[in-house]
Amino acid sequence: MDIIYIRDLRIDTIIGIYDWERRMKQTIVLDIEMATNIREAANSDNIGDTLNYKDVAKRLFNFVGESEFELVETLAERITELILTEFNTPWVKLTLNKKGALRGVRDVGVIIERGRKT
């Protein structure tokens, strides 16, 4: 199985459990790996035959930007569900980074894998 990836996708959203977090957007950073088979696209040289990372990024900008989850765990689950179902990929690995969540710490977040990597 091949992997198409997106690194350092930055999206502003409402995320958090504290009152101050509910009043302002924060930037989350996503790294995404998606299983696919690129052979058909490589042979045809046609974007319609592959998993289009631009379409994935645009969809996530809309979904995440409009979301207002409290937990990064919930947001991560919903993102992976969206990718698996809407983009028909069998496996996805997501790193969701909530920069600035803890004082004195550069990064904090979750890493999840869903589906089957074949």
In sequence order, the 6+-apart residues with CB closer than 8 A to the CB of 25 are 12, 13, 14
Gap between the Cα atoms of 118 and 88, Å rounded:
14
Q: What is the mean pLDDT of each run of 10 residues along the chain (118 residues)?
A: 96 93 93 96 94 97 96 97 96 93 81 90
> Torsion angle, CA of 42/5/112/25, rounded to 10 degrees?
-140
This prediction's pTM:
0.93
Domain count, the chain: 1
Gap between the Cα atoms of 80 and 17, Å rounded:
21
Enclosing domain of residue 69: 2-115
- Residues 100 and 25: beta-carbon distance below 8 Å: no
Note if 98 is an active site residue: yes
Q: What is the CATH number of the domain that holds 85?
A: 3.30.1130.10
Q: Please tell me which residue in 25, 58, 93, 98 is annotated as part of the active site.
A: 98
Per-residue pLDDT at 42: 94
